């Protein structure tokens, strides 16, 4: 299965993750990012050991490497135009040992704060070309 990177792997039942996907899609004017839920077959095919073995994190696959937690976030931001690219580089200069505990705290409480969906998001007709199974 040939999958064109970069691919954002996200928890399809998480309200925060859904917000993040919408955020990226609205700002990714070149439509570079592809999206796949961690609950889907694309994640199972891409991730070593399958998605169930991976950390509770949004992930980015760039075609050669996987990035998770705050590393995935800053790498996604630098692919966006304008202030978002600058924000990504600013986030990058913060040491990982500071960034990741903040990320983990939010990830641990994301369902309580942002809600949990019963099913994964269903892309609209306009979005379908950017979503993988």
Concatenated DSSP letters of 55-97: -SS-EEE-SS-EEEHHHHHHHHHTTS-THHHHHHHHHHHS-HH
Predicted model pTM: 0.90
- 93 pLDDT exceeds 70? yes
Burial of 125 (0-12, 13-18, 19+ CB in 10 A): exposed
SS3 content of the chain, % helix, strand, coil (to 5): 50, 15, 40
pLDDT of residue 32: 94
- 52 pLDDT exceeds 60? no
Q: Looking at residues 103-130, what average pLDDT do you find?
A: 86
Q: What band does 50 get if pLDDT is binned at 50, 70 and 90?
A: low
- 53 pLDDT exceeds 90? no
Q: Give me 104's structure tokens.
A: 């983990």
Q: Cβ of 28: how many Cβ atoms within 10 Å? A: 18
């Amino acid at each position: 299965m040939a999958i064109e990177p970069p691919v954002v792997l996200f928890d399809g039942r998480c309200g925060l993750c859904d917000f993040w996907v919408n955020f990226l899609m609205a700002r990714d004017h070149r439509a570079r990012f592809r999206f796949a839920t961690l609950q889907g077959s694309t994640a199972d095919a891409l991730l070593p050991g399958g998605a169930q073995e991976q950390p509770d994190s949004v992930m980015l696959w760039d075609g050669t490497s996987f990035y998770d937690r705050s590393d995935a976030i800053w790498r996604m931001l630098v692919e966006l135009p304008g202030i978002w690219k600058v924000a990504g580089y600013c986030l990058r200069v913060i040491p990982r040992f500071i960034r990741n505990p903040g990320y983990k705290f939010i990830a641990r409480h994301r369902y309580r704060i942002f809600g949990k969906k019963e099913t994964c998001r269903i892309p609209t007709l306009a979005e379908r070309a950017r979503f993988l199974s």
